[in-house]
Structure 1
Amino acid sequence: MAERASPPGESRAAALLRGRVEPLVFLANFALVLQGPVTTQYLWHRFSADLGYNGTRHRGNCGNQSADPIMQEVETLTSHWTLYMNLGGFLVGLFTSTLLGAWSDHKGRRPLLVLASLGLMLQTVVSLFLVLLQLHVGYFVLGRILCAFFGDFNGLLAASFASVADVSSDGSRTFRMALVEASIGVAGMLASFLGGHWLWAHGYANPFWLALALLIVMTLYAAFCFGETVKELKSTRLFTLRHHRAIVQLYASPAPEKSRKHLALYSLAIFVVITVHFGAQDILTIYELSTPLCWDSKLIGYGSAAQHLPYLTSVLFLRLLQYCLADTWVAEIGLFFNFMGMVVFAFATTTALMFTGYGLLFLALVITPVIRAKLSKLVGKSDQGALFSSVACVSSLAMLAASGIFNSLYPATLTFMKGFPFLLGAVLLLIPAILIG
């Protein structure tokens, strides 16, 4: 039907004249990664100042303070407020990302991309005011909730992956989605290097100013430069249960062969992978700030850059491995290296060992583009937005579970095994390995 309404040659020419979605993903993640470790370190600094703890200012004595109850109180408060921020954002995002993703199947990907960009910009403004005016740290939670009302980063990713599925063939889809994830990784590495050095030299406010400037550019790009990929736009209301029903029908309505069963299994696999990935990411900065590692902001910047390096190395090795292996085997290899990296983190007591763990994750992120491509091939063209909004919903649930599990488990296990949450993450990765296999 779309081809009759708009000839293929005409649609493709229009798309080539306008921007692709990768720059949007790059700018969004650059701004988020620039803010993420800075926010954690700001919380650490505020709680340290409130409790009179100065361990972060005397790194030479940090290794002798493992039993310091004030340091453990700072770690616990930082971890808990990170949990509150994530809970606020993810609970609201569960509703909005599913609603907006299915809505984009009718109204196009551009409106959702613009809304998500505005939400990210609003969150940054709130954070900036908090830092400049020394407001209560609860405003970080408010910023996350306001951002989630507009779709959050998950909504932006849903629209981005759906737009890739709109224009890619079955054979190229896995690699195209890996390119979107590579945009996430390259942005993360650059922002991590810049954020660590900038924080060290100029304090907490400047990274938020840069993030705000980037998000303004990103919003303008989404509104005026992105090439719409939905060929036939339809008039539809935003606030209606129809959009949520479209997502339920993906899993509940009859379908050929085993596609619905595979849809559920792949959704469960991506849920576990994202839970481990974001759960570990949530506590890594706290883990590195405290004893026995006692990293400063520069080392945390390097660590965050190493954490994002797999986005780039994974897409390169994915392309090479696809010549000789099926996508399923590529995902299994990625899970193996992810497992090994988590185990090394669990027992890391030196900087060299931490970076060894980061090095083992070089193939860890081939898993999600493989699963997303397989999911995309199980539904029709007109359901791509609903599918990726359901994946965004699964991602939100996974991030919620990750925050609840890892941010609660980390303070609880400080006394007997600090790296236990990473060990748990390694064990959880056996579940998607079995499901994909």
Structure 2
Amino acid sequence: MSLFQRYVTVEPALFLFMFAAFMSYPLMYELVMKRVCDEHNCTISSDLPKNSSSHGCPHVPSAIKSRVIHETSLWILYINIANSLPSIMAALATGAWSDRVGRKVVMSFPAVGLSVNAFFVLLVWYLHLPLEVLFAGQILSGFMGGYGTFNLGMFAYMSDITSTAYRTTRIGILESMIFLGGMLGNIIGGLWVRSGNFAPAFWCIFACGIAVLLYVNVIVRESRPKRRWSYQQHKCKAFFRCNNLVKAFSLFVRFQYPYWPLVLAISVFVLVSINFAGIIDVVTLYVFDWPLCWSSKQLGYFLASKMGMNGVAILLFLPLLKKVGLSDLAVINIGLVSGVASLILMGLASHAWMMYLVPVVGALRGSVVPSLRSLMSKMVNENDHGALFAAVACFEVSCSLLATIIFNNMYPATNHLLTPHGVCFFFMSGMLVIAMIVTIVLRQGWYSSGDDSLPERFNVNADYDTLGDQDGNVRKSSTSDSVSCMSSNVIRV
């Protein structure tokens, strides 16, 4: 095994996938806005603040502009729902399935979906088809997994090939690829938007999907045990089993005492996911409003710098925090404190320089999610990693939709209460304080020391693993049998 294959596994694939995904967001918004403008025979530049001058902002939107922005927002919401709902079902179906058949196939489907979605956008652009055609690409991409299934395959793979001692650091490095890929995608996407030519950008996204597919199947080595050919023939049959859908959430509802830490951990994950997803929606409304009155270009640079700081902080500080002996829960609390401070600063920001301090103050908040992923992976048997991350992916996608609904309605309902209009940010900081309290309860009930290993009294699966036999049925076997089945070309680091 080469040095590259030993220390770099799926990270380039996740970076490229997220780069393409985040690059598509501003492009899709601009494409939809352009089509809506064409229907109303008007021209609106997305570089103008979308707010009223009654508070001193330099641009006054007409009634037609407000109407266009409202219709564009609805289109984007419907497009997101068309992609998210099928992706939730795909994640549930493929998570537990990947525990038996391997991670590579689960990582391959979303890469194909990324290219399929870009292809449908290109059809709309070249053939001047109606916007409704975009739903076909979004639905197909969703049924192929979307970013939720891709993430579950990535993080389950990393949990498979790492020991518990180094898992948080490696998952953190993998998570940083989301932030760094998103940062670069936002910047490049913004540049394509200003050029006004969408076709080359979506051809680039199409090529990224093909490149990810090739990388996963040619470079990445399978992390799950190799099966006999007689078992391989049952892959398709095993995919349609209802057990795949049930297994993901059965991890949280079993009646054994040891599963309460997992319930608390996923509760923290839900609070954090709603919080992080809601920030993007509220920030967009907040910075376009008085007193900041930003342009879309300024917003793009702010979001890119925010994601970049999170990614760099994970790469630099998360390994350092683990090296000095801090537990996963301690790292989570440090990240939550950083997140609370950044949200309070954002809620009080009345000048641009205060907003540009937010990415610096909140840099360590990016360490929360990878530490939670690592923590939860240590709470289950290694043959349940796929099922676990399937449930996590479903919560992640659902929280994103829920955050959009909650905060897009909360902001206009509360923006008259304070100036600046930061009530939503204070509410979000309260959510993170609740998450901190839950982690403290979890720590008091779980850890007797700073060790991250799962206490023996919590590991009900310590004596056996669940493996599929040659007919795809689940059987019990000793842990030593499972270890002996592991492919020799995957080395735990």
TM over 0.5: yes
Kindly state the Cα deviation for residue 102 of structure 1 after the two structures are TM-superposed: 0.9
**Structure 2 residue corresponding to 1:178, chosen from 172, 196, 200:** 172
Conserved 8 A contact 1:195-1:301: no
Conserved 8 A contact 1:165-1:384: yes
Kindly state the Cα deviation for residue 435 of structure 1 after the two structures are TM-superposed: 1.0
**Structure 1 residue corresponding to 2:29, chosen from 21, 37, 40:** 40
1:422 paired residue number: 425
Is 1:273 the counterpart of 2:276? The answer is: no
1:31 paired residue number: 20
3-state SS of the aligned residue for 1:429?
Answer: helix
Kindly state the Cα deviation for residue 134 of structure 1 after the two structures are TM-superposed: 4.5
Question: How many residues are paired up?
Answer: 424
Structure 1, residues 165-207: CA drift from partner, whole Å, max 9, x if none?
Answer: 1111111111111011011122122222222233323533332
Structure 1, residues 200-237: CA drift from partner, whole Å, max 9, x if none?
Answer: 23533332222111111111112222211002345442
Kindly state the Cα deviation for residue 283 of structure 1 after the two structures are TM-superposed: 4.6
Residue identity in the other structure for 1:34: M
Conserved 8 A contact 2:49-2:296: no
2:318 paired residue number: 318
Is 1:435 the counterpart of 2:438? The answer is: yes
1:204 paired residue number: 198
Structure 2 gap ranges (5+): 441-493
With over 3 angstroms needed to count, the CA separation of the structure-2 counterparts of 1:296 and 1:206, relative to structure 1, is farther
Kindly state the Cα deviation for residue 282 of structure 1 after the two structures are TM-superposed: 3.6
**Hey, what's the Cα distance between the residues in 2 that align with 1:401 and 1:168?**
33
2:220 paired residue number: 226
Which aligned pairs between 1:101-250 and structure 2 lie closer than 5 A? Answer: 101-233=95-227, 234=231, 235-236=234-235, 237-250=238-251
With over 3 angstroms needed to count, the CA separation of the structure-2 counterparts of 1:15 and 1:305, relative to structure 1, is closer
Conserved 8 A contact 1:101-1:158: yes
Residue identity in the other structure for 1:373: S
Conserved 8 A contact 2:287-2:294: yes
**Hey, what's the Cα distance between the residues in 2 that align with 1:134 and 1:411?**
35
Q: Percent identity?
A: 28
Kindly state the Cα deviation for residue 357 of structure 1 after the two structures are TM-superposed: 2.1
Kindly state the Cα deviation for residue 374 of structure 1 after the two structures are TM-superposed: 1.1
Segment of structure 1 superposing worse, 409-418 or 185-194: 409-418
**Hey, what's the Cα distance between the residues in 2 that align with 1:146 and 1:293?**
40
With over 3 angstroms needed to count, the CA separation of the structure-2 counterparts of 1:336 and 1:386, relative to structure 1, is same
Residue identity in the other structure for 1:86: N
1:3 paired residue number: none
Segment of structure 1 superposing worse, 229-238 or 414-423: 414-423
Q: TM-score, normalised by structure 2?
A: 0.77
Conserved 8 A contact 1:279-1:399: yes
With over 3 angstroms needed to count, the CA separation of the structure-2 counterparts of 1:289 and 1:212, relative to structure 1, is farther
With over 3 angstroms needed to count, the CA separation of the structure-2 counterparts of 1:374 and 1:332, relative to structure 1, is same
With over 3 angstroms needed to count, the CA separation of the structure-2 counterparts of 1:150 and 1:386, relative to structure 1, is same
2:263 paired residue number: 264
Which aligned pairs between 1:71-90 and structure 2 lie closer than 5 A? Answer: 71-90=65-84
More helix by share: 1
3-state SS of the aligned residue for 2:368?
Answer: helix
Kindly state the Cα deviation for residue 379 of structure 1 after the two structures are TM-superposed: 0.8
With over 3 angstroms needed to count, the CA separation of the structure-2 counterparts of 1:253 and 1:232, relative to structure 1, is farther
Conserved 8 A contact 2:27-2:192: no
**Hey, what's the Cα distance between the residues in 2 that align with 1:295 and 1:95?**
38
With over 3 angstroms needed to count, the CA separation of the structure-2 counterparts of 1:89 and 1:218, relative to structure 1, is same
Residue identity in the other structure for 2:26: P
3-state SS of the aligned residue for 2:239?
Answer: coil
Kindly state the Cα deviation for residue 123 of structure 1 after the two structures are TM-superposed: 1.6
3-state SS of the aligned residue for 2:362?
Answer: helix
3-state SS of the aligned residue for 1:83?
Answer: helix
Kindly state the Cα deviation for residue 68 of structure 1 after the two structures are TM-superposed: 5.4
* Structure 1 vs Structure 2 CA RMSD: 3.0
Conserved 8 A contact 1:25-1:184: yes
